[in-house]
Structure 1
Amino acid sequence: MQFTEFDLDSKLITAIGKMGFENATSIQQLAIPEALTGRDILASAPTGTGKTAAFLIPAIQYLMDFPRRDPGFARVLIMTPTRELAYQIHEQCNLLAEGTNLKIGVVTGGINYGSHKEIFEKNNDILIATPGRLMEYLETENFHAENVELLILDEADRMLDMGFRKEMLKICEQATNRRQCFLFSATLEGEHVEKFAERILNEPIKLEATPSRKEKGKIHQWLHLADNYDHKVELLAALLNSEEVTKAVVFVKTRERLEKLVGELFAKGIKTTWLRGEMPQDKRMTAMASFHSGKTNILVATDVAARGIDVNDISHVINFDMPRTADIYVHRIGRTGRAGKKGTAVSLIEAHDAEILGKVERYTDQKLKRRVIEGLEPKHKEAKAPKKKKDPAKIKAKKKAKKKK
């Protein structure tokens, strides 16, 4: 389905065309027509399938259909979990709103409180914000949500997981005059998203996009066995120096490991940029700008610091350290193979990773291929994951059931 088939303003169609988009993705085909009718929406779609445009396009169309009559605060409020996502949405929103006179602002933490003063003093049509910082402005009465007509919660599942439930509810309560609300989530699994949606949405239509093969992309996964930390560094350097790696994210488990690894890669002539927790916002933005532009093609990051990374052309995700849980593994590797492209995820496995590797293989329902790099073959055999201890209560119950039979 082409964007020209939607009931959209010609200026918006022109902006979409300039961005290189012609055909709508599955989530856009589902969400845009429903949003244009004025309905509340509860939608799920994997990251990298055009979710942002699915809510920005109807939001901009709404503002064009119903121009502002009186001066005031934002009429469209978009809440998102992280600073990086807020700035990425802001960038896409500016491109889609080209040719209009809409004023678009962004408010996040990590920037001195009060530096957003200009956004609140002037007319603002669309505000993109992280919940924590927006809540501060609400409490000090620098921002009022009564003008909000369209409220959009992006990646609601992650905001809830990050502990923003109270702030999200408070902001929803403050936006008393809203006409419409969209809640977008990567998944609707589990009760917490749907229960939260029940509290804030009014008779929503539930949309679950099943991306086509073209949208899904494919992630090739394999692992290299490593004898120790130094062996892992050698394996990583060999991988990063290969021609296939055009843009890579390397995951480590702690800030200390990150600093050590970045130094060791630098000593080997491998230039990287990095993200770690509690990093000043200006430095985070500089690092991401360097990675986005291709000035640096390797980003080393911790899981906490990497929240919100949304870059389409990542060729490789490398787990220098394995994550704590299998679902984090899936979230990590989902940063490659996006928008129908192929991607590669490589894990470097030491003996102590046997247990989490077993969990990952069960969770993803596939055994990761074992590969070797010539000259860097492991000296030790693969450690086996410890067997699960049998639950005595379950054994008893089974025996009882057998006797009854």
Structure 2
Amino acid sequence: MSNTHLTDIRFDQLPLAQPVLDGLARNGISHCTPIQAEALEKLLAGHDVAGQAQTGTGKTLAFLTAVFHRLLTKPANPNRKTNQPRALIMAPTRELAVQIEKDAKLLAESCGFSIGCVYGGTAYRQQMEMVSQGVDILIGTTGRLIDYLKQRCFDLRAVDALVLDEADRMFDLGFIKDVRFMIRRCPAPEKRLSMLFSATLSYRVNELAYEHMNNPQQVTIESTKKTANRVEESLFHPANSEKIPLLLGLVNQLKPERAMVFVNTKHAADRVCGYLLGNGLKAGLLSGDVPQNKRLRLLNEFQAGELQLLVATDVAARGLHIDGVTHVFNYDLPQDSEDYVHRVGRTARAGASGEAISFACEDYAYYLPDIETFIERSLETRAISDVELPQEIKPAQRIAKKPAHNARNRSGSRPNSAGQRSPRRSPKS
């Protein structure tokens, strides 16, 4: 983590339980980011917190540190049953839930707590057995959490700490009724420590906080830019037929170590990834119809450096915490101005620098004025003639599609006792 992104406040200056400090030190984490310093000051004093900060500023570690400290310093209910978690962390997407679990394991070894993560699309029986046997900290997406809750695999009456991550995204994806369903089955607000974190504390997010939290304290970390401060942003105006040559030319010229390419549709994702693969580049495809096991494998390969490029629809624009993304290419300009900020936020995380390059083509240039109004500045325009385009472009490689498994249809539903398919509650969870 770059020092330019840290405060002078050290974690060992805070009244944290020693096992938490040991876990942080073991992973080389010494100083707080601004959101960590301000949120923990209030959380360690026992106040609920509604926090807002730019993506990539350390919100996850802030709430995980508070959760582990809470469980270590507050005695568990002596009547607590095995299948009653002490902490519940809800996330809007599978990828974010998995990332939170990964970060939580950095502290779990020294703190001695068990962690479970549940999400749709894979490992139904294994996850069910895990929550039934009991974990201390339960992380998950709302759809599968509610599924297991209704089957009485666990209950929430012993929850001491509650976290809602990416609250604004919960609204965007239509999961807020599920969130309220879960929260109402937890102990009363004054009997638990509650945390809500969001990229924006909109009116609807604040309403949720004040309805379900105990006098929450707001923590807002302002930035001079809506996008990360160390991102170099620029713009090309290609014709539709120039987009593939321009992307290939930029990749060959810039040689990004790890880059994400954002498109607006699954069809475009297939096409772009196919051309990258067909022209000898190591690329992966991440979109809504990619099976969950394959999604996680692709993310691991991308994080490990086995893939240079990850082509993604906006399903991946939020909640992915991947270190070392040097470049973001907006092959299609997003139709939602906020999605531009979230896409660009995949690079220049935790104080690092990065570059974001956007294409304003014939189909999507109409969204540029709204984006520039939202980020309160004009993007630097570059000439296509400055990029050395490839002399020859090989055909796109066909992206193989795996058929759905017999035990699950394309929507991810499972057969009921009558052998019929029932729809999954939250198909994107």
Q: Which category of TM-score, normalised to the shorter sequence, fits these structures?
A: 0.7 to 0.9
**Is residue 2:228 matched to residue 1:220?**
no
Tell me the alpha carbon deviations over residues 188-220 of structure 1, each in whole angstroms, 9 at most, x when there is no partner: 13x11011112101111111123699x954111
Structure 1: distance between partners of 2:244 and 2:160: 52
Residues 275, 306 of structure 1: 8 Å contact kept: no
The residue type equivalent to 1:342 in the other structure is: S
**Is residue 2:51 matched to residue 1:43?**
yes
Task: Name the residue aligned to 1:103.
Answer: 114
Select the residue among 345, 370, 380 that pairs with 1:369.
380
Structure 1: distance between partners of 2:35 and 2:373: 29
Q: 1:26 to 1:153 in 2, by over 3 A?
A: same
Tell me the alpha carbon deviations over residues 290-310 of structure 1, each in whole angstroms, 9 at most, x when there is no partner: 111111121001113544222
Q: 1:180: Cα distance to partner?
A: 1.7
Q: 1:182 to 1:369 in 2, by over 3 A?
A: same
Residues 49, 211 of structure 1: 8 Å contact kept: no
Residues 94, 119 of structure 2: 8 Å contact kept: yes
Q: What secondary structure does 1:207 align onto?
A: strand
Select the residue among 171, 181, 194 that pairs with 1:181.
194
Task: Name the residue aligned to 1:357.
Answer: 368
Structure 1: distance between partners of 2:24 and 2:14: 12
Structure 1: distance between partners of 2:180 and 2:336: 29
Residues 217, 341 of structure 1: 8 Å contact kept: no
Structure 2: distance between partners of 1:26 and 1:252: 32
Structure 1: distance between partners of 2:259 and 2:94: 21
Structure 2: segments with no counterpart, 5+ residues: 1-8, 390-429
**Is residue 2:28 matched to residue 1:20?**
yes
Q: What secondary structure does 1:86 align onto?
A: helix
1:3-402 superposed matches below 5 A: 3-68=11-76, 69=78, 70-72=80-82, 73-176=84-187, 178-189=191-202, 191-210=203-222, 217-229=229-241, 231-243=242-254, 245-374=256-385
Structure 1: distance between partners of 2:164 and 2:363: 39
Residues 115, 138 of structure 2: 8 Å contact kept: yes
Name which one, 1 or 2, has greater alpha-carbon Rg.
1
Q: What secondary structure does 1:221 align onto?
A: strand
RMSD: 2.1
Q: What secondary structure does 2:109 align onto?
A: coil
Residues 217, 339 of structure 1: 8 Å contact kept: no
- Range 197-206 or range 361-370, more displaced: 361-370
Structure 2: distance between partners of 1:373 and 1:355: 19
Structure 1: distance between partners of 2:20 and 2:109: 8
Structure 1: distance between partners of 2:67 and 2:316: 30
Residues 49, 216 of structure 1: 8 Å contact kept: no
Structure 1: distance between partners of 2:270 and 2:228: 34
The residue type equivalent to 1:193 in the other structure is: V
- Range 89-98 or range 361-370, more displaced: 361-370
Structure 1: distance between partners of 2:200 and 2:279: 41
Structure 1: segments with no counterpart, 5+ residues: 379-405
Tell me the alpha carbon deviations over residues 22-64 of structure 1, each in whole angstroms, 9 at most, x when there is no partner: 1111111111122122221111111211101111111111222
Residues 236, 381 of structure 2: 8 Å contact kept: yes
Residues 71, 160 of structure 2: 8 Å contact kept: no
Q: 1:210 to 1:227 in 2, by over 3 A?
A: closer
Q: 1:118: Cα distance to partner?
A: 2.8
Structure 2: distance between partners of 1:353 and 1:216: 23
Residues 239, 245 of structure 1: 8 Å contact kept: no
Q: 1:243: Cα distance to partner?
A: 4.0
Structure 2: distance between partners of 1:297 and 1:260: 17
Q: What secondary structure does 1:106 align onto?
A: strand
TM-score (norm 2): 0.83
- Range 351-360 or range 335-344, more displaced: 351-360
Residues 117, 140 of structure 2: 8 Å contact kept: yes
Q: What secondary structure does 2:98 align onto?
A: helix
Q: What secondary structure does 1:8 align onto?
A: coil
Structure 2: distance between partners of 1:305 and 1:183: 21
The residue type equivalent to 1:142 in the other structure is: C
Structure 2: distance between partners of 1:305 and 1:212: 25
Residues 26, 212 of structure 1: 8 Å contact kept: no
In the alignment of these two chains, the number of paired residues is: 375
